[in-house]
Each structure stands twice: as structure tokens, then as C-alpha cells.
Amino acid sequence: MGLICTKDKTNKIIIKGYGKPVNTPTPNVPPKTVNTYKYVGEEFQQEIEKNDPTYSEKQQKWNQYYQKKYELINDVTYSALLKRQQSIEQLQQQTNEDDLCKEPKINSNKQFSQKIILSLAQQLGGPFKMRNQEIIDAYLVKEMNNEDFKNILMDGAISKYRWNFWMAQVYRNRDYDPLLYQKLKNQTPSQKVLEDITKDINRTFPSHDHFKDYNQGQQQLLSILKALSILNEDIGYVQGMNYIVGFSLIVSGGKEEEVFWLIHFINTNPMFLWWEIYRVNFNYTKALCQVFLKNFNEYLPALYQHFQDEGISDQQYIWQWILTQFLYTFPIDSVIFFWDFILATDIFSIIKISIAFLKEFGYDLIQKDIGQISEFLTSFIKDQLSIDVTKIIDDAKQIDVNMTDDQKQFFKNYKPQSST
């Protein structure tokens, strides 16, 4: 449903559907009192949680959810089964033999767990290649009930589980090669790519302690961007990638190799294909922008028309939001929840969040001229705006992304070029 609007005596469009101007404090969202930009990993996330009024509820929900792993999978050998270099046929034979050695028991947890492992091994195409036990645990919980996993991640993760659940959500066993990252680190990209990456290292989260001067964070950022540019030689390096990799390093706590794999999994996962937004000619990004504009017009017609009348270009906002996954424009302690939502679903969630955000601040934006809107989009969001993330995510859930038949065909038939 679009904005409810009418015209006043001066023929100016006004919105009746919103009673809250942008500067009115959002209920239940306290002002930021802690600088979260000197921490990484769980410590960084815990600083955000101090200002999250829904944290206690989330914590209880996540702990209850993760307890399912212990209720359903209490066989101490299950992780060993996942890691053994056995064929699926051998796992099947072992499971059958174990079943024959026991008297049948209803709801036997041991037998149940072995059958889950066998099913998981079949889906993975063999043993779980990655050896991080916490990621294996998260992946197993996800596979037991994918819908529950999606819903709880969409509502926002907590620091104890977030990184491993991000990894579990996008993990692709067939793409993982434990030797690949070190191999790529020992190679050097083209001189042009190396110069472009080096130029952007100092520009990536310069106010964050992890990336000040040429410290470990900058070295990790450089190494990952080089590796990804070599792996995706046909794309190389484009501005925007540095923000995505840098933010992943912050959230992970500087887990360099895991960050490389998170990005690579997202890039090869058909639900996301993130690096396609950087491909030459930006055809994938242009297509996403067109889908956004169609839905912007359908959901918020008055605000859409106001942007058109004021000459606001899509490159002033949605283009940047897509290319940096919101990181260039929005504060990172809001973006972390946007990423929870996006990774729980697909790349079109960028469109849902964008429309939900514009809806939240439509009252104010529709009264601004081009200069004021530009200022809002380029600096006010990041530096001064208090964002009710929970409200935006709740609104985003209610949005169905609509496409024309041609747009549906484009995304259905889109095949990324091989980068390996």
C-alpha cells in the first residue's frame, strides 16, 4: 500500500499516513552512547547489544533455538562421522550395520542422529570439508529446520552465534578447498588491480581502530581483496568490495581466511551472487536498480514521484546501497542487522530494506528539496539519524518484491561467468 497523500492550498503534496517527522525520537530506541568502532568480533557486537532494547528477548530465543542441537543430536560421534573421509556408500553401510546391532527403539536419538548425518553427507556430496566445529554445529542446526533457521536469523542474531550462522547459511561444500586461500595469497594481481586496492585500503573504515594505519586489519583487508581479485580475474577489483570485506573482518573478529570464504560462498551462492554487481557494465546492478524503482513506485508512489520531480538519481542512493550492501551510507551498527536479514533470505532483500527505510522517513523526505534530500542521503543517515532497525526489518518482511516478466526472466536465466 502506498503513502496516503493529498495536496494543500499551495498544491504541495503532503502525506497523511505518517505522523512522525524524522527528528522525533523513535520510541524504545535509546540514543547511541558507546563508540562501537574500536572493537571487533563478539566484543564489537556486544557493544551494539548494549543499545538494543530487544536483546534480552533475542538472547532467550537464540539459546532456546540452539538447544535443539543438543536435544536432537546427542551422539558424541556425529562430528567424527561428518569429518571422516568416507564415501556416502560407506556411511550408509555403517548406519545400516548400527541399526541391525540394536533393538529398534522409538525416537532413538543415536539412530536418529546417524540418519541425519547420512542425509547431511548426501546433501554435502561427501564429508564436511571445513573443520571448524562451531560452523559444522550451526550448519547441522540449519539443516534440521531451514525455515526456523531463516526466521530466527532474519529477526537479528546475537553475538554468540552470528558469525557461525552467517557462515552456515552460505556454506557450499563443493566450493571449499582448504589450500586455495594460501595459494591465492602467494600470487600477485595485475599492477592496475593492485594499485586500485592499495589506494582504497586507507579509505576503508578509517575511523575504526582495526583499520588505522598499516596494522593487521589493513594487511588482512589487502590480502583478501587481492585473493578475491585473482580468483575472480574477469571482475578484478571495484570500489565497494573493500567495505564488504572490511565489515566482515570486523564482525568475524579478524578471521581472515573465514572472511575470504564467507565472501566467496556468497559470491557463488545463487541466492546472492554478490560479486556479479561489480561485473563490467554493471548489468546485474542495473537490473536490481530497475526492480527497486518499480517497487519504490508501487509501494511509495508519492515519495517516488517527489524524487522524480526533484531530479534525484538512483545513483545517489540505491546504487550505492547495492554496491556496498548499505555500508557506505549507513552506520555499521545498523547494517549488521540488515545483513542478518539479507543473508537469511536473498539479494532482493536489499530492495525490501531500502523501501522499508524510505517508508520510515517518507514524512520528512517528501518535504525536502533536491539539496536537502541529497544531504540526507549522503551524510545525515550515517552521522545523525537514529534508525529503528527493528521497525525497518518488520516492515521489510511485509514487502513482496514484484517484477515484470522480463525482469523475472533476466534473474531466472542469469548465469555468472566462471571465475575458477
- Same domain, yes or no: 301 and 347: yes
- Same domain, yes or no: 167 and 190: no
Q: Is residue 26 part of a domain?
A: no
DSSP codes, 125-179: TSS-----HHHHHHHHHHHH-HHHHHHHHHT---TTTHHHHHHHHH--GGG--TT
Q: What is the dihedral of CA 127, 140, 419, 201, to 10 degrees?
A: -120
Mapped onto helix, strand or coil, the DSSP state of residue 286 is helix
Q: How many whole angstroms separate alpha carbon 210 and alpha carbon 246?
A: 9
**pLDDT digit string, tens, across residues 328-376:** 999 999 999 999 999 999 999 999 999 999 999 999 999 999 999 999 9
Of the residues 119, 142, 171, which one is the last residue of a structural domain? 171
pLDDT at 261: 98
Q: How is residue 254 annotated by DSSP?
A: S
Q: Is the Cβ–Cβ distance between 351 and 164 less than 8 Å?
A: no
pLDDT at 141: 83
Q: How many whole angstroms separate alpha carbon 346 and alpha carbon 344?
A: 7
Cell 595469497 locates to 185
> Which portions of the chain are predicted below pLDDT 70?
1-36, 68-117, 417-420
Q: For residue 368, is it left (φ>0), alpha (ψ between -120 and 50) or beta?
A: beta
Q: Is residue 80 part of a domain?
A: yes
pLDDT at 369: 96
Q: How many whole angstroms separate alpha carbon 183 and alpha carbon 78?
A: 31
- Same domain, yes or no: 167 and 65: yes
Q: How many whole angstroms separate alpha carbon 359 and alpha carbon 2?
A: 9
* Nearest partner of 166 among 282, 281, 284, 251, judged by Cα: 251
| All cell numbers assigned to 409 | 526472466
- What is the domain extent for residue 324? 280-413
For residue 149, count CB atoms less than 10 angstroms from its CB and return exposed for 0-12, middle for 13-18, buried for 19 or more.
Answer: buried
Mapped onto helix, strand or coil, the DSSP state of residue 399 is coil
Q: Is residue 35 part of a domain?
A: no
CATH number for the domain harbouring residue 319? 1.10.472.80
CATH number for the domain harbouring residue 229? 1.10.8.270
Q: How many domains does the structure of the chain reveal? A: 3
Mapped onto helix, strand or coil, the DSSP state of residue 266 is helix
- Same domain, yes or no: 83 and 199: no
pLDDT at 253: 96
Residues 6+ apart with CB under 8 A from 349: 341, 342, 396
- Same domain, yes or no: 264 and 317: no
Of the residues 224, 246, 269, which one is the last residue of a structural domain? 269
pLDDT at 96: 60
Q: How many whole angstroms separate alpha carbon 43 and alpha carbon 46?
A: 5
